Amino acid sequence: MTDRIFDVGQAEAALPMLRDLLPRVRDARRALVEASERITAAVEADGGGVSGSDWFTAQEHLRADLTTLAEEGILLRDPEMGLVDFPAERDGRRVFLCWRLGEASVGWFHEEHAGFSRRQPL
């Protein structure tokens, strides 16, 4: 992870990548949870015997995409919503530019110790 500070233009430039990556993260996370539940149920029922290759595949995809986000300095806040924060500064203080999958642009921010529910328009 980097200590990158974004301005609105840099955050906007990341949106095409995020529009592609965030649905994959959500899908891989769901697949991982479903495979884990299926494997757990099979182990409880008969001591195992269930192939877990889909679990490993989902885990590898999720790891790769989360690594990409970390390397870019983008913080994943909610994989189901596709909610991310971009570390930024506003009036000399640390804030987060806030964007969610489906929004047209980066138009919100929130204070460092606040969250999505307290975001404000830029």
| Residue 76 is assigned to a structural domain of this protein | yes
pLDDT at 1: 43
| Residue 41 is assigned to a structural domain of this protein | yes
Q: Count how many domains the chain has.
A: 1
- Quick one: pLDDT band at residue 7, thresholds 50, 70, 90? very high
- Quick one: pLDDT band at residue 44, thresholds 50, 70, 90? low
Helix (H) or strand (E) holding 67: helix 53-72
pLDDT digits (tens, 9 = 90+) for 77-116: 999 999 999 999 999 999 999 999 999 999 999 999 998 8
| Residue 3 is assigned to a structural domain of this protein | no
| Residue 44 is assigned to a structural domain of this protein | yes
Range of the domain at 91: 8-121
For the question of whether the overall pTM of this predicted structure is more than 0.85, the answer is no
Quick check: 86 and 14 in contact, CB under 8 A?
yes
Helix (H) or strand (E) holding 42: helix 8-46
**Whether the predicted pLDDT of 42 surpasses 70:** no
